Structure 1
Amino acid sequence: MRRKLAAGNWKMNGNAADLSELQALSHMHAAPAVDILICPPATLIHRAKEKVLGGNIQIGGQDCHAANSGAHTGDISAQMLADAGASAVILGHSERREDHGEQNEDVRAKSIAAMNGGLKAIICVGESLEQREAANTLDIIGGQMSGSIPDQATGENLIVAYEPIWAIGTGKVPTLDEIGQVHDFIRARLERRFGEGVGRSVRLLYGGSVKPSNAAEIFAVSNVDGALVGGASLKADDFSGIIQALEQA
């Protein structure tokens, strides 16, 4: 059985004072029935890890460089993330693809570095509104998967997050049938490429305006093993509602 995962992406939000939310969340879920992961800004990873040391919340990064070290001013390697206390890293998020021009091959290279560095790679895929309206969603997702996911992927080092770009932070959510169609497609593609064992063991997350109010119905959809949550993960009370819905799914 795949263990469900509630992952929070703080994006470029938060400072030391906000770690109190993390501590509150840890107290709310002292013995969670699902995995909980928070990905704060890189400046907070070490302090976040110290807040939950030996606890029930895992800490992750939001990006890493494809190289282990070198002349890459401002970048952070997978090994540095792991050294700071991270166990996972988000890669290929649409905001990275748009803001920094990341292509599938860039995401693949970073994913290889993450996996080699002992991190779980949370690889994001998703279509724009124009692509959705042109009925190209599955072609886009399939291409992103083929180009972004490395051959060494397993159920232990890979998590795939479906995040329709048009639903991120907009309050818009695909229909449950649309979410199910994409998640079933991702599962089938993974099984075809890596075999049934690996394909069925990779956790699939949905992301895009997930809230306590809609989480339960999303988690009831086929092949949705959890969520990658943005804004709603910044406050313990909001994220706790999502975690509870996942535990009850």
Structure 2
Amino acid sequence: MPNRPYIVGNWKMNGTRAQLTEARAIDRGATRHAGVRVAIAPPFTLIAAMAAEVQALTVGGQDCHGEVSGAFTGDVSAVMLKDAGAGFVIVGHSERRAMHGESDAMVRAKAEAALDAGLEVIVCVGESEAERDAGQAEAVVGAQLDASLPRGEGLVPRLTVAYEPVWAIGTGRVAAPADVAAMHAVLRAKLVAIYGEDGAAVKILYGGSVNAGNAAELLAVADVGGALVGGASLTADSFLSIVAAAGPGED
């Protein structure tokens, strides 16, 4: 089911082996929602253990380096993620861009490295509150996407874009459905401009304080193909409520 919604949990810097209990519960719950693709990006330390214990979930990484190997203390390559059992990686998350100074060029290099390693890629883009207030949101995010996306033949099936307004991440603030629809339309036009008609098939996720209470409304917005979920993905109860909003379960 290539068009099924894609719900991705980003655990960020949270989780020890004790939290694998939650991952197993999410995995069991995901089997009741075959019409929804469910994934989790745990911290690097849990990727191998989680991948070994789940069946319905796709397990991924939260970041990778743009090089295959080398003297990059503390970094993890896409090849290493693949070897640990990851199926995808998130690149360009706003926290990486802001806290680690990652440029669009760095994000693109990471995406290219991940694709070369056989991983799927989620490329994140989003504007700051100041940029939105200045009326620059669509221009900023469109340019960010253009500069962050890898180019090449045959990569579209392994590419996902996530729109995360920076001011809505972890703040409890959520973009209005009309604003989400407008931005996703801009991103779709940019994807088609870059990849031609294949760009129409790239999923665009919304991320930014998504929770059980607002998921259904956000997922119903035109061209929202799923959600990138932060804090609400840490427990099975809250995360599966979002999965349920994306598609009916089985009786």
Give yes or no for contact 2:28–2:56 (8 Å, CA) kept in 1.
no
Aligned twin of 2:49: 47
Aligned twin of 2:107: 107
Q: For the residues of structure 2 that align with 1:114 and 1:2, how far apart are their CA atoms?
A: 23
Q: For the residues of structure 2 that align with 1:22 and 1:56, how far apart are their CA atoms?
A: 11
Structure 1 counterpart of 2:39, which letter?
Answer: L
Give yes or no for contact 1:9–1:39 (8 Å, CA) kept in 2.
yes
Three-state SS of the structure 1 residue aligned to 2:81 is helix
Q: For the residues of structure 1 that align with 2:4 and 2:200, how far apart are their CA atoms?
A: 12
Aligned twin of 2:68: 68
Q: For the residues of structure 2 that align with 1:29 and 1:159, how far apart are their CA atoms?
A: 20
Give the TM-score, by structure 2 length.
0.96
Give yes or no for contact 2:146–2:190 (8 Å, CA) kept in 1.
no
Do structure 1's residue 165 and structure 2's residue 166 form an aligned pair?
yes
Spell out, residue by residue over 1:96-140, the C-alpha distance to the aligned partner (whole angstroms, 9 max, x if none).
001100000000000100010111110000000000000101111
Q: For the residues of structure 2 that align with 1:146 and 1:28, how far apart are their CA atoms?
A: 36
Aligned twin of 1:223: 223
Aligned twin of 2:175: 174
Q: For the residues of structure 1 that align with 2:56 and 2:28, how far apart are their CA atoms?
A: 9
Structure 2 counterpart of 1:45, which letter?
Answer: I
Spell out, residue by residue over 1:42-99, the C-alpha distance to the aligned partner (whole angstroms, 9 max, x if none).
00000000111xx110000000000101111111000100000001000000000011
Do structure 1's residue 35 and structure 2's residue 53 form an aligned pair?
no
Q: Cα distance, 1:26 vs. partner?
A: 1.3
Q: For the residues of structure 1 that align with 2:231 and 2:167, how far apart are their CA atoms?
A: 15
Give yes or no for contact 1:154–1:202 (8 Å, CA) kept in 2.
no
Give yes or no for contact 2:5–2:36 (8 Å, CA) kept in 1.
yes
Give the TM-score, by structure 1 length.
0.96
The 5-angstrom pairing of residues 11-30 of structure 1 reads 11-30=12-31
Q: For the residues of structure 1 that align with 2:155 and 2:113, how far apart are their CA atoms?
A: 14
Q: For the residues of structure 1 that align with 2:155 and 2:51, how far apart are their CA atoms?
A: 25
Q: Percent identity?
A: 49
The 5-angstrom pairing of residues 1-12 of structure 1 reads 2-12=3-13
The 5-angstrom pairing of residues 184-203 of structure 1 reads 184-196=185-197, 198-203=198-203
Moved more, 147-156 or 169-178: 147-156
Moved more, 144-153 or 134-143: 144-153
Q: For the residues of structure 2 that align with 1:7 and 1:243, how far apart are their CA atoms?
A: 9
Give yes or no for contact 1:38–1:57 (8 Å, CA) kept in 2.
yes
| Number of aligned positions between the proteins | 246
Three-state SS of the structure 2 residue aligned to 1:180 is helix
Three-state SS of the structure 1 residue aligned to 2:217 is helix
The 5-angstrom pairing of residues 71-150 of structure 1 reads 71-150=71-150
Three-state SS of the structure 2 residue aligned to 1:64 is coil
Structure 2 counterpart of 1:125, which letter?
Answer: V
Three-state SS of the structure 2 residue aligned to 1:156 is helix
Q: For the residues of structure 2 that align with 1:226 and 1:58, how far apart are their CA atoms?
A: 15
Unaligned runs of 5+ in 1: none
Q: Please identify runs of 4+ aligned residues in structure 1 that moved more than 4 A.
A: none
Aligned twin of 1:234: 234
